[in-house]
A and B are shown apart, each in its own frame.
Chain A
Amino acid sequence: MIAPPEVLRFAAKRALKIRTVAGYSLERPCDVYELIFHSRLELQFFAVPTLEGMYLEDGHTRRICVSAFRPPGRQRFTAAHELAHSALLHGTRVDTIKELKEKTSENDVDEESADTFAACLMMSNAAVHSGFKLRNFNVHKPTPAEVYRVATWLGVGYSTLSNHLFYSMRAVSSQHLRQLLRCEPKAIKSELVRKQTTREVFELDALWAGVSVHGRVGDLFTGVTAVSDDVLA
């Protein structure tokens, strides 16, 4: 079942309102983990390879679960998707494995509106445009490295932003999208740091000021010229 346009519009408006109320300007990235923390939701990473994430609540406590086996950008988008289920009051009562299988396989409308919410939360048009424009990148014909840099800044994956540029914003042509998707993030990252790597690469520029970096051990950072003792303490 396809979600009605008004349902998707409501999801988009809700996302924009939540990020604005939380103090994130529309031109800046929204830190979904910070937002989850401030919304008093629990966040848990679980070891289920075949499930992206899920949302649980019991009336008192709300918990977002995200698979530990996904790339960081994907995990953040999933966290935003699960946050949508809380913000849009989704969910069904379950008690057994049978109920889990039956009741969670039907509600495509909720899932589609949660994706719309997540996209608006993390890739608002204004944030995407400013991410490209302020770096002097052409949003209509970006190179793979440029898309990667903006995607990392926004906290989403490379292919997520590439698809968003075409399917949601119509900023790039279908031909350009195909060209972008032909490039593997691994190759882009390796080119950025001039060595083979599968780790995240953060190219930190002036636009990162005030934006949280969720790095993990082994991730690579470029553009950092000095780190004060205060930061390391």
Chain B
Amino acid sequence: MHRPTLSNIESGERKVSAVELKLFAEGYKVSTEWLLDEETDSNSRIKLAARKLSGLKDKDLETVMRIVDSFRRNRK
């Protein structure tokens, strides 16, 4: 996708087609629901291993949680 097209999408001047949305989701390894900021079921628990998360800055911890959420939603 060309850079001007991306800029237009980011500024809201161009809409994204369903096909493009799917391609974005595949490219960034997230679900389409995550890209659309839709609610998902939080009961689908996943297994995680990582060290020293308790020492992470809140901002980084939130990023980690977003990655975990996107992983969960991508599986649905």
Interface residues of A, Cβ cutoff 8 Å to B: 42, 44, 46-58, 60-61, 63, 65, 82, 85, 90-97, 100-102, 104-105, 107, 110-111, 114
Do residues B48 and A92 form an inter-chain contact, with CB atoms below 8 A?
yes
Q: Report if A46-B67 is in contact (Cβ < 8 Å); known contacts: A97-B62, A101-B61.
A: yes
Determine the chain A residues whose CB is within 8 A of the CB of B55 once the complex forms. 50, 105
B49 and A104 contact, CB distance less than 8 A: yes
Q: Using Cβ atoms and an 8 Å threshold, which residues of chain B touch A49?
A: 60
Within 8 A of A (CB), among B18-68: 29, 42, 44-57, 60-65, 67-68
Contact partners of B64 in chain A: CB under 8 A: 48, 51, 54, 100
B75, CB-defined interface residue at 8 Å: yes
A-B contact pairs, 28 of them (CB 8 A): A44-B29, A46-B67, A48-B60, A48-B63, A50-B56, A50-B60, A51-B52, A51-B60, A51-B64, A56-B71, A58-B71, A58-B72, A58-B75, A93-B48, A94-B48, A95-B45, A97-B65, A100-B65, A100-B68, A101-B53, A101-B54, A104-B52, A104-B54, A105-B55, A107-B49, A110-B49, A111-B51, A114-B49
How close is A7's CB to chain B, nearest CB, in angstroms?
15
Given the interface contacts A48-B64, A65-B67, A94-B68, does A104 sit within 8 Å of B53 by beta carbon?
yes
- Bound CA span A47–B59, Å: 11
- Contact across chains for A54 and B48 when beta carbons are under 8 A apart: yes
B47 interface neighbour in A47, A93, A114, Cβ under 8 Å: A93
Determine if A100 and B53 form an interchain contact, defined as CB atoms under 8 angstroms apart. yes
Closest residue of chain B to A95 (Cβ to Cβ) is B45
Please, which residues of chain A bring their CB within 8 A of the CB of B49? 54-55, 82, 85, 90-92, 104, 107, 110, 114
For the complex, give the distance between the alpha carbons of A82 and B67 in Å: 16
Closest to B72 in A: A58
Q: Which 3 A-B pairs have CB atoms at the shortest separation, nearest pair first? A: A54-B50, A91-B47, A105-B54
Of all chain B residues, the one with the shortest Cβ separation from A112 is B51
Residues of B with C-beta under 8 A to A94 = 45-48, 68
A55 contact from B48, B57, B62, B74, Cβ within 8 A: B48
In chain B, what residue has the closest Cβ to A63?
B71
Determine the residue in chain B with the shortest Cβ distance to A46: B67
